[in-house]
């Protein structure tokens, strides 16, 4: 049927999407489905195909004539009752298309005469881009979907198909990270003891030690359900701090007033500092704030006198570091804090050591470090990091 004879009429879908991509598909493999018109030449289905064929310079197009009373019904059914490929189906199709696309790239460019040092065709690297476009995905999304499928977990693939590629891929990375952490922790069990540091699995509520420390430097968890830990921390600090020592605790802003009130029931407020995280905003949706700093609360024993070094009260982290722990702080930020407050040779204790960043900073500055954590994997990772730091 001649394109000029097809009447478009009033259509309800105005966003035609990427017509050039559709035209490219039609150019390469042909028109898979004819357009549909009624006996009067009024278009029922195929507006995008018409635009794509016009783009290619076609004057005629295959058409099926269907006597349908309602043009609107035809437009609705074509677009609503169709089913797109699931991501896992798209991955399977892409696996079939990619070798063909790579061969097509060879045909487009021809094999070089001197192929002794030939490493690939110019378009070969773009094959996945073209394949992703063919299955209706971006290249990054297709790559993530392929990684989920290759992981081979049916539950995760189902989550991807029913929810989103991004959600499934994020869970995949979390599982891989958990496996890596467990492997590191397992390997750390055989590390030799070092007189510069010690770390063990223990609960802050029940941990006992005969040692007192120059500083407790720690970063307790921030969510509301852990608020009581700040009161426990302050109470246990009565046992752990030297008479002229300081407790230095990082915290979030959401419950700052409650935290200070709880800690002040046991210890004496000394100072407050600012830990800057420029370029690393944390969105606090409940308060509609993007924060780029954390409070540092500093306390001493009741009636005690601090006679240590004079220190500044602003520290800066130069980037996120969540490689070892989802709540981890950066080495740069913790090292800046330790350097300003502590002297080499002094003792530092962290009762929420996580993956050991405070301990690494302590050793880098020449301090001695002890730490505890409830999580066995955290303790194993901390041991590994501390061991590697002392070797370096």
Q: Pick from 252, 209, 263: which is nearest to 372 by CA? A: 209
What pLDDT, on the 0 to 100 scale, is given for residue 122?
Answer: 43
Q: How far apart are CA 192 and CA 190, in angstroms?
A: 6
| pLDDT: which is higher, 231 or 318 | 231
| Residue that the structure tokens 């030799």 belong to | 192
Strands 314-316 and 213-218: unpaired
Q: Which of 212-224 are b and which e, b meaning 16 or more Cβ less than 10 Å from the residue's Cβ?
A: ebbbbbbbbebee
CA distances for 142 relative to 25, 100, 105, 126, 163, angstroms:
18, 17, 20, 13, 15
Stated pTM of the model: 0.60
What pLDDT, on the 0 to 100 scale, is given for residue 103?
Answer: 74
CA 343 to chain centre: 36
| pLDDT: which is higher, 163 or 122 | 163
What pLDDT, on the 0 to 100 scale, is given for residue 115?
Answer: 47
* Mean of pLDDT over the chain: 84
324-373 pLDDT tens trace: 555 557 899 999 999 999 999 999 999 999 989 999 999 999 999 999 99
pLDDT band at 218; cut points 50, 70, 90: very high
Contact residues for 70 (Cβ-Cβ < 8 A; gap 6+): none
Q: Report the 10 Å Cβ neighbour count for 253.
A: 16
233: pLDDT strictly greater than 60? yes
Q: How far apart are CA 375 and CA 352, in angstroms?
A: 10
351 is written with which tokens? 């009762």
Query: Do 302 and 267 form a contact (C-beta atoms < 8 A)?
Result: yes
Strand partners, 297: 249, 272
Kindly list the structural domains of the chain, giving each domain's residue range(s) and its CATH number in brackets, ordered by start.
3-80 (3.90.1530.30), 87-185 (no CATH), 196-391 (3.40.50.150)
What pLDDT, on the 0 to 100 scale, is given for residue 273?
Answer: 97
295-317 pLDDT tens trace: 999 999 999 999 999 999 999 99
Q: What is the mean pLDDT of residues 130-144?
A: 81
pLDDT band at 130; cut points 50, 70, 90: confident
Contact residues for 104 (Cβ-Cβ < 8 A; gap 6+): none
Where are the strands (E) in 184-303, listed by range?
Answer: 197-201, 213-218, 241-250, 268-276, 282-284, 289-291, 293-300
11: pLDDT strictly greater than 70? no
154 Rama sector, left if φ>0, alpha if ψ -120 to 50, beta otherwise: alpha
**Mapping DSSP to helix (H, G, I), strand (E, B) and coil, where does residue 249 land?**
strand
60: pLDDT strictly greater than 80? yes
What pLDDT, on the 0 to 100 scale, is given for residue 82?
Answer: 53
What pLDDT, on the 0 to 100 scale, is given for residue 351?
Answer: 97
CA 315 to chain centre: 25
325 is written with which tokens? 């722990």
What pLDDT, on the 0 to 100 scale, is given for residue 119?
Answer: 45
Question: What is the DSSP-derived secondary structure letter of residue 124?
Answer: G
Query: Do 69 and 115 form a contact (C-beta atoms < 8 A)?
Result: no
Tell me which H or E stretch contains 14.
none
390: pLDDT strictly greater than 80? yes
Q: How far apart are CA 128 and CA 110, in angstroms?
A: 19
pLDDT band at 14; cut points 50, 70, 90: low
State whether the Cα torsion 220-222-228-234 is positive or negative: positive
Q: Which of 48-82 are b and which e, b meaning 16 or more Cβ less than 10 Å from the residue's Cβ?
A: bbbbbbeeeeeeebebeeeebeebeebbeebeeee
pLDDT band at 41; cut points 50, 70, 90: confident
| pLDDT: which is higher, 120 or 230 | 230
What pLDDT, on the 0 to 100 scale, is given for residue 216?
Answer: 98
61-109 pLDDT tens trace: 888 887 655 555 555 555 554 556 788 888 888 888 778 777 766 665 5
1: pLDDT strictly greater than 90? no
pLDDT band at 207; cut points 50, 70, 90: very high
Q: What is the mean pLDDT of residues 45-55?
A: 87
331 Rama sector, left if φ>0, alpha if ψ -120 to 50, beta otherwise: alpha
| Residue that the structure tokens 């891929």 belong to | 169
What pLDDT, on the 0 to 100 scale, is given for residue 324?
Answer: 53
């Amino acid at each position: 049927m001649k394109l000029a004879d097809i009447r478009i009429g009033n259509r309800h879908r105005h966003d035609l999407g990427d017509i050039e991509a559709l035209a490219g598909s039609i150019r390469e493999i042909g028109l898979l489905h004819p357009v549909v018109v009624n006996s009067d030449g009024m278009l029922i289905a195929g507006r995008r195909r018409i635009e794509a064929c016009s783009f290619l310079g076609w004057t005629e197009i295959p058409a099926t004539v269907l006597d349908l009373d309602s043009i609107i019904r035809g437009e609705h059914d074509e677009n609503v009752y169709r089913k797109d490929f699931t991501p896992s189906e798209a991955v399977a199709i892409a696996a079939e298309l990619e070798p063909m696309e790579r061969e097509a790239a060879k045909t487009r460019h021809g094999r070089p005469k001197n192929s002794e040092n030939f490493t690939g065709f110019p378009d070969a690297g773009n094959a996945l881009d073209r394949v992703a476009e063919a299955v209706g995905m971006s290249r990054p999304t297709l790559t993530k979907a392929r990684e989920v499928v290759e992981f081979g977990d049916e539950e995760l693939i189902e989550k991807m198909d029913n929810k989103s590629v991004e959600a499934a891929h994020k869970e995949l990375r979390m599982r891989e990270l958990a496996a890596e952490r467990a492997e590191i922790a397992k390997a750390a069990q055989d590390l030799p003891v070092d007189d510069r540091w010690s770390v063990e699995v223990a609960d802050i509520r029940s941990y006992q030690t005969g040692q007192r420390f120059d500083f407790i430097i720690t970063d307790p968890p921030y969510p509301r359900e852990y608020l009581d830990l700040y009161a426990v921390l302050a109470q246990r600090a009565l046992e752990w701090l030297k008479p002229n020592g300081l407790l230095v605790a990082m915290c979030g802003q959401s419950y700052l007033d409650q935290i200070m009130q709880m800690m002040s029931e046991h210890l004496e407020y000394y100072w407050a500092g600012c830990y800057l995280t420029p370029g690393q905003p944390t969105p606090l949706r409940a308060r509609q704030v993007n924060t780029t700093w954390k409070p540092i609360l500093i306390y001493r024993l009741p009636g005690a006198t601090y006679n240590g070094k004079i220190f500044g009260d602003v520290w800066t982290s130069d980037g996120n570091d969540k490689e070892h722990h989802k709540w981890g702080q950066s080495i740069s930020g913790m090292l800046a804090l330790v350097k300003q407050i502590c002297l080499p040779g002094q003792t530092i204790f962290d009762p929420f050591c996580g993956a050991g960043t405070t301990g690494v900073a302590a050793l880098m500055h020449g301090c001695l470090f002890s730490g505890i954590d409830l999580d066995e994997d955290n303790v194993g990772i901390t041991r590994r990091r501390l061991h590697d730091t002392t070797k370096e």
